[in-house]
Amino acid sequence: MSLIEDAAGVRENAHAPYSGFKVGAAILSAEGRVHLGCNVENVAYPEGTCAEAGAIASMIAAGDRRIAEVAVIADSPAPVPPCGGCRQKLAEFAAGEVVVTMATTSGATLAMTVAELLPGAFNAGFMINAENSAP
């Protein structure tokens, strides 16, 4: 099964009673395992969880730490990119050249690297200075 198929399968489990906009995400970790996530809305909109964030949480909970590839799918006229917050979350665990494939339920796809999705990403290197020696 492909990552897009994995994402399409978990998309069906999304909890989207307010928007009706279901999203599924699948992450292949550097360790070779697939981790899934779907969006979970909440009536207090800012409290929901994006599919990508759910897949990252699943990856971390399983003990993996590096993303090798990502697929995201939604029922939309065009492939939907991750939101800004999820782009930063992906950048935390993926090198810039990691490919994110965005797909629609009708079969359209668009592939971009994490670096293309979030040029100039904030990273731990910015936190290192004379007063603070970050890991």
For 77-126, write each residue's pLDDT tens digit. Answer: 999 999 999 999 999 999 889 999 999 999 999 999 999 999 999 988 88
| Angstrom distance (rounded) from CA 134 to CA 36 | 30
pLDDT at 7: 98
| Angstrom distance (rounded) from CA 88 to CA 38 | 18
| Angstrom distance (rounded) from CA 44 to CA 55 | 21
Residue-wise pLDDT tens digits, 24-80: 999 999 999 999 999 999 999 889 999 999 999 999 999 999 999 999 999 999 999
| Angstrom distance (rounded) from CA 34 to CA 69 | 9
* Topology (CATH) of 3-127: Cytidine Deaminase; domain 2 (3.40.140)
To the query of whether residue 92 is one of the catalytic residues in this protein, the response is no
Q: Would you say 91 and 114 are in contact if contact means Cβ atoms under 8 Å apart? A: yes
Q: Which residues are annotated as a binding site for Zn(2+)?
A: 50, 83, 86
Pick the catalytic residue: 52, 92, 116, 131?
A: 52
The residue ranking higher by pLDDT, 135 or 125, is 125
Q: Which residues are annotated as a binding site for substrate?
A: 39-45
